[in-house]
Amino acid sequence: MILRNLSHPEVLLTRYRAHGGGVAHMLLTHPRLATLMFLAHASIPPGQRLEGHIDPMEEIYIILKGRGMMRVDAEERPVGPGDAVHLPIGAWHELVNDGDETLEIHVVAGLIPGEA
């Protein structure tokens, strides 16, 4: 069993700026994971965003707290706690915190095709 949380010493060392507007930590990463690349936690302050980008892997954004607007390619939808958004490989995506509290998410990413 591997147990991690935001207070774990290894997790604290992974703090980084996520796509311009959020702060993220890697909870679990490859190669500790067999078929996933990572599980990350990100927090986005009110009025900030994870800037639009394309990733070379499949991802799932899980909304834990707060509200926002999720854009995936040409589609835009409001998201809130309990929502999970699937992001296909190569999809342009952006998450905007349009609420008045910090938006917190978990991001689950699959391995990049061809990597093991």
The CATH number covering residue 101 comes to: 2.60.120.10
pLDDT band at residue 1 under the 50/70/90 scheme:
confident
Could you tell me if residue 2 is inside a domain?
no
Could you tell me if residue 36 is inside a domain?
yes
**What is the model's pLDDT at position 112?**
81
**What is the model's pLDDT at position 24?**
92
Could you tell me if residue 1 is inside a domain?
no
Could you tell me if residue 87 is inside a domain?
yes
Question: What CA–CA distance (Å, rounded) separates 14 from 7?
Answer: 11
**What is the model's pLDDT at position 116?**
62
Q: What are phi and psi of 63, to 5 degrees?
A: -85, 120
Q: Which domain holds residue 71?
A: 9-110
User: For the residues 3-32, what does the mean pLDDT come to?
Assistant: 88
pTM over 0.75: yes
Could you tell me if residue 3 is inside a domain?
no
Could you tell me if residue 35 is inside a domain?
yes
Question: What is 17-81 written as a DSSP string?
Answer: EETTTEEEEEEEETTTSSSEEEEEEEEE-TT-EEEEEE-SS-EEEEEEES-EEEEETTEEEEE-T
Structure tokens at 93: 């995506």
pLDDT band at residue 32 under the 50/70/90 scheme:
confident
| Total domains in the fold of the chain | 1
Helix, coil or strand: residue 3: coil
User: For the residues 93-98, what does the mean pLDDT come to?
Assistant: 98
* pLDDT over 90, % of the chain: 76
User: Contact 36/109 with Cβ under 8 angstroms?
Assistant: yes
